[in-house]
Structure 1
Amino acid sequence: MTVDDWLAALSAELRRRRIDPSGPVGEAAAHLRDSGQSPLEVFGPPAAYALAVVVSLRDATGEQLRPPSGEPRLRATGITKRYGRRTVLDGVDLSVHAGEVLAIIGANGSGKSTLLRICAGLLSPDSGHVRLRGTVGFCPQSGGTSDFLTPDEHFVLVGAGRGVGRTEAKARGRSLAAALDWAGAPRAGETRHLSGGTRQKLNLILGRLGDPDVLLLDEPYQGFDNGTYLDFWQQVLRWRDAGKAVVVVTHLLNELDRVDTVLDLTPGGMR
């Protein structure tokens, strides 16, 4: 089944279930374009994925799917951001507690990455405010690494900003790499020689250095193979169980059963 055939079948299944297919089909198409993976490998049969979308939309009300287990760690209130005449975010609220995983979903251009960068303190909103209790780690969707540094040098550099010594930073970075099935991190050479998926592993590790209280992850699994992708979600659940507050931007609606709260930024979507 080609990608176009799979997307057409998904669209038909969603229409049959009286769901507007434009958002879910657009998100799936964007992920498949960026990852180059097979739709059956990533999402499964169109009918099964359509059912997952229906379930996720039923639950994407902004209400808790299970009670939060700890104190509020991150709260964004009334966030508005404009680029020229285009309003990307309009009065968006977000709250995540310790021991909670929140997923941000939405069509391309709905402001998912913008909201995450505002929460990370990398971008200022036009209005609204963000309150953070504890330390924050950020994993961008792309970029974030230096071409001419080795992974170990990245660990030392970011570790220094976290107050972690050189030896400990290397050891911690290598341990996190091994958890993502990247035992070769110390021998990887300069980052410019790494594949896109391995660079994303490095970004994810750098976001975790220093054991932050809040993790902001912008589609961090881009380019991961299936095994590493599954390892990533297992790590997310372990971080939640350890009392971390985790925010994940994702296109993959079939993974929403792994999270506690969903924020849909699609215009007209549920929050």
Structure 2
Amino acid sequence: MAKHYTILHNQFPSRHTETLVAMAVYHKDRLDWVCQAVRSILSQTYTDFVFFVILDGEVPAKMVSELKDFAFQDNRLVLAQNEKNSGLAASMNHALEWGMTLSPEYFARMDADDESVKNRLERQISYLNKHRNIAVLGTALTEFDEQGRQVGSRTMPASHKQIVHMLPRRCSLNHPTVVLRYQVFHDGYRYDSDLNNTQDYFLWIELASQGYVFRNLKDKLLNFRRVNDFYKRRGFSKSVNEFRARLRAMRQLSRLSLFNLVYACGVLTLRVMPAKLVKLAYRIDRHFLERFVKH
């Protein structure tokens, strides 16, 4: 595989780590939020990890400087840069390929505008160590707005059966919260770098169809940033990819039904409606999801 990124800083002292945490940074990311995200990982109660932060193309010089300062202060942070803006899937694939040499057990996701709760990794890694059959572990999350005010939460179905049952209708894991066993990648699976969005949804469908076991913790272990344009950002391309993912899930998981087809078409129609209607639908969805999960 051709290498399309450069290591800017790597003083990680070990040849092995239990967990690789990966985060991509873009030129439009807010510096204060990126710093908050980095601090939330470096201050985790769990410590056996390397934190691979990849700059996806050119980013402001101030951002690079701040991240290098973090790397000099904590040698668990490895800083890399893509030759050009390649997208989240390619960035995560670069991170996991780089991490192969460290023989990690786990691969943890992090986003540059979110904040991990202090015991997030300890809680997830401990759970995975005790439940060896689980390959993909997500958690619930708390939603905050740009001013740091709590505006909601998102609790996904807990059991493998529920998660897979819902896949033809929705992506039933919160991607920024997920920790995967590295064995998944040793088995040859990767994010689809041809997709500009919904890469996680397609990956979960592929893994579910191959029998990998999923689980969601109900603990809210991530503070998710729901910015003002959150509803507008779900544009036509993302809507079409979500529709394609639902159709694939129906086929690969043998869940093709009139209800699932109508649901997929309904969501696609909703996505192109005004942001106010999308926002209302989002709130209704959260309400029914919470009720479903509680049962």
Sort the TM-score into its range (normalised by shorter chain). Answer: under 0.3
Quick one: higher RCO (CA 8 Å, sep 6+), 1 or 2?
A: 1
Q: TM-score, normalised by structure 2?
A: 0.24
Q: TM-score, normalised by structure 1?
A: 0.26
